[in-house]
Structure 1
Amino acid sequence: MPTEPYRIAYYTDEQGNKPFREWLQGLRDQIAAVRIRARLTRVKAGNFGPVRNVGEGVVELKIDHGPGYRVYYAIDAGTIILLLCGGHKRTQQRDVEIAQRFWKNHQEQRK
């Protein structure tokens, strides 16, 4: 059986928090949570679907459900999808800035 080309990982801050995982687990809309998990399964297999580069190495996945959920990630070491944070259309600009900060922090931690 072939292995999946990508591995999913969660960004972890200095206190050990995993913002994306906490956001996903806290969603009240369980249908949205299922759709997001299904989309991430496809991403893991290399099927990214529509994505948008939002700058500084961060990419946005759009989830076509509810208020327009967004998942922000970066590709680390070529094969790791590092899930940074999630949000929706109304908080998009703030979420992009947070994701970019998380990605920069992750890169600095690895030095």
Structure 2
Amino acid sequence: MAIKVEEYIREDASNPYKEWFDGLSSQVAAKVTVAKLRMELGNTSSIKWFDGMGEYVIDWGPGYRIYLAKDGDTFIVLFGGGTKRGQQRDIDKAKALLVEYKARKKAMTTKSSNKHKG
């Protein structure tokens, strides 16, 4: 079962995942790329779900994490993540991005339904 995995793009066109990913060493970037491919192929066994979002744990090195949300059949990568050491800070960032994502989606849905009423 293939899963669509998208990176969250903020209203100002910034991409928190890309910003994080671009700062990784090539070795870590390769591990993260494999993790993303596994998600796309439907392997979600490394994701722990809590508070409406997921944490994909890469059991290597300092324990890298990728934070995401599920939206229908799509995974939205909210925030690239970090390591076990900064886990709470990273979770807080991802939660804030999830709130932002949901608010933007709701606003777009409201705009769209208002267009059809007029």
| TM-score between both structures, scaled by the size of structure 1 | 0.88
Write out per-residue CA displacement over residues 41-72 of structure 1, whole angstroms, 9 at most, x where no aligned residue.
111111112221231x1100111222111000
**Alpha-carbon distance between aligned partners in 2 of 1:110 and 1:51, rounded to the nearest angstrom:** 24
**Alpha-carbon distance between aligned partners in 2 of 1:20 and 1:46, rounded to the nearest angstrom:** 20
**Alpha-carbon distance between aligned partners in 1 of 2:21 and 2:9, rounded to the nearest angstrom:** 14
Q: Give the one of 5, 10, 13 matched to 1:8.
A: 5
Q: Which runs of 5+ in 1 are unaligned?
A: none
**Alpha-carbon distance between aligned partners in 1 of 2:8 and 2:96, rounded to the nearest angstrom:** 11
Q: Alignment length, in residue pairs?
A: 105
Written as runs of structure 1 = structure 2, the 5 A alignment for 1:1-111 is 5-28=2-25, 30-55=26-51, 57-76=52-71, 78-85=72-79, 86-111=81-106
Q: Identity, % of aligned pairs? A: 33
**Aligned structure 1 segments of 4 or more residues deviating by more than 2 angstroms:** none
The structural deviation recorded for 1:8 is 1.3
> Relative contact order (C-alpha < 8 Å, sep 6+): which is higher?
1
Q: Which has the larger radius of gyration?
A: 2
